[in-house]
Amino acid sequence: MFDNLSDRLQGVFSGLRSKGRLTENDIETAMREIRLALLEADVNFKVVKSFVAAVRERALTAEVLDSLTPAQNVVKIVLDQLTELLGADDTGLKLSSRIPNVIMLVGLQGSGKTTAASKLAYRLKAQGHSPLLVAADVYRPAAADQLESLGNDIGVKVFRGDGKNPVAIAESSVREAIDTLRNIVIIDTAGRLHIDEEMMAEAAAIKKAVKPDQILMVVDAMTGQDVVNAAAAFAEKVDFDGVIMAKMDGDARGGGALSIREVTGKPIKFISEGEKPSSLEEFHPDRLAKRILGMGDVVTLIEKAQAVADAEISQAEAERMARAELTFDDFLTMNRQVRKLGGIGSLLKALPGGEKALGEGRVDEGMLDKMEVIINSMTKKERAKPSIINGSRRQRIAIGAGVQVYEVNQLLKQFDETRKMIKKMQVSTDTRGKGKGKKGRGRGMRSMPGLGGMSAADLKNLENMLK
C-alpha cells in the first residue's frame, strides 16, 4: 500500500545524502518533494500542510544544518514526525474489569466488519479469553451466516438471537455470555453503503442498550480520504474509541491510514493484512513509520518468530541443531515456520530494502513448495543422513519430485550453507559465554532455526545493524 510513497520519500533522502552539507534551499526543495509525495498518496491536504511545516521547522535549525550528517538528521525528523502523525501514544485494546466486556464494531458496509470481528475473536481467544460473536447485522443477506461460518472456523460461538431486532439481539447476547461463561462479547453491527441517519440511530441505540466498553470502527484502508470523512461522521454521532484498519495489503495509496488519527483524534488500534484469522495485528505507529521509510520492521518479525518457534521444535531437535547436526526433516520444520510467519514475502517486507526486492520480482514465492516436494521424494534415511545422497540418488530424487537434477543439487548446497551458518552462530554464542554445556545449549537453541532464541540485546543489535 505504501510502496509509491516509500519510493518517493527514499528518493528525497537519497538526494540529501549525496550532499556533504545542506543549505536552506536544499531543505526547501526536499520539503516540496515530501509535500508532493504525501498529496499523491491521498493524504488529507490539511494534514500534509501541518506535517511539512513541522518537519521544515525542525530541519532548518542550526543543529541540523551544521551537523556532519545533516541528511540522517532530516530522516530522523521525518521518522519522528511520521510516528507522531500515526499516533505516538499507546494504542492497544484496553479491557475493563467488567464481565463480560462488550466490544462493538461499527463501520460502512463492505469495510470488512464481519471478517474483522472474527479476527478479533481469534486474537482474544489466543490470549486466553472466551469470546462470543454476535450477529447484529439483520439487513445484509447472509451476514449472520457468514459470521457463523467464520466463527466455526476458529472455534468461537456465534449468537444470532431472533435475527430481527439488532438492539434486542445485542441485549440478549450479554445475558447469553453470562449464562455460558463468556468474558468478551463482540457485536458485529450493520453498515450502509454511505452514512445515513438510520444507521447512526441504530448504532446509538445499541450503544445505549449494552453500554460497550470499547467501540471500534472498521475502515477499509483502500478507500483513501473517504475513510476519513466516514470516521469523522461516526466520531461525531457514536464517539468510537479506536480504528481497525482493514485491507492494509491492498494496492491503494494509503492516505486514509496516514490521515485518520490527525483528522478524527481517534487512534488506530489494529491493522489487518490478509484473509487469515491470524492476520489482525496490534498497531504500532513507530513500526509502520519505519516501514514507510524503508527501514523494515524487524521487531514484528522477531515477535512472530518467537510465537511459532517453541511449539515447533522439541528439546532433542534443539540439542541436535545446536551441534549443527541438521537433517532435512529440520529443513521441513524451517519451511513450516516460514509459512506461519507469512511466507518469504512477509519476511522480506520486514527487512530494510526487502519491499524493493519483492517489488522487482527477485523473490520466488514457490521456492518453499518445490523444496518440500524434493525433500518428500527422499527416503527417511536420506533425510536423516544427507551425506549419503550420491549421484544416482540425486537422479532418483529429481525424477520423483518432477524436477531437474540441478535443482536437487541447489537444495543440497543450500542445506550445507544453512548448517554452516548454524554452526557459526553456536560458536559465537559459546564465545560470549552463553549456551555452554548440554543443558544450556539446548535452551539457547530451542527456537532455532527461527529468531526466537535471541536475547533482547541480540534483537536490538540486529535491528540496529539492519538499519
Mean pLDDT of 115-123: 92
H-run or E-run covering 85: helix 70-87
Mean pLDDT of 5-17: 80
DSSP state of 246: E
Phi, psi of 357 (to 5 degrees): -60, -40
**Are residues 238 and 216 in contact, defined by beta-carbon separation less than 8 angstroms?**
no
pLDDT tens figures, 312-327: 455 555 555 555 567 8
CATH architecture of 3-87: Up-down Bundle (1.20)
DSSP string of 140-187, one letter each residue: STTHHHHHHHHHHHHT--EE-TTSS-HHHHHHHHHHHHHHTT-SEEEE
Structure pTM?
0.65
Query: How high is the pLDDT of residue 324?
Result: 54
Q: Is the pLDDT reported for residue 438 higher than 50?
A: no
d(CA 183, CA 391): 61
* Among the ranges given (141-150, 218-227, 261-270, 440-449), the one the predictor scored with the smallest mean pLDDT: 440-449
Collect all residues with Cβ–Cβ distance below 8 Å to 448 and sequence separation of at least 6. Answer: 309, 313, 318, 321, 322, 422, 425
* Among the ranges given (45-59, 270-284, 291-305), the one the predictor scored with the smallest mean pLDDT: 291-305
- CATH number of this structure's domain 101-292: 3.40.50.300
Query: How high is the pLDDT of residue 322?
Result: 53
**Are residues 341 and 304 in contact, defined by beta-carbon separation less than 8 angstroms?**
yes
The domain limits of the chain are: 3-87, 101-292, 298-466
**Are residues 351 and 466 in contact, defined by beta-carbon separation less than 8 angstroms?**
yes
Residue 216: CB atoms within 10 A of its CB come to 25
Q: Which runs of E-coded beta strand occur in 221-363?
A: 242-246, 268-272, 280-282
Q: Look at 467 and 304; give whichever has higher pLDDT.
A: 304
**CA-CA-CA-CA torsion sign (128, 129, 134, 137):** negative
Pairing of β 184-188 and β 101-106: parallel
Per-residue pLDDT band at 19 (split at 50, 70, 90): confident
Residue 82: CB atoms within 10 A of its CB come to 21
Closest CA to 255 of 301, 304, 287, 219: 219
* CATH entry, 298-466, from 3.40.50.1010, 1.10.260.30, 3.40.50.2000, 3.30.450.40: 1.10.260.30
Mean pLDDT of 93-106: 88
Pairing of β 158-159 and β 242-246: unpaired
% of the chain with per-residue pLDDT over 70: 72
Query: How high is the pLDDT of residue 387?
Result: 86
Highest mean predicted confidence (pLDDT) among 34-38, 41-45, 227-231, 444-448: 34-38
d(CA 265, CA 207): 20
Q: Does residue 323 sit in helix, strand or coil?
A: coil
Per-residue pLDDT band at 173 (split at 50, 70, 90): very high
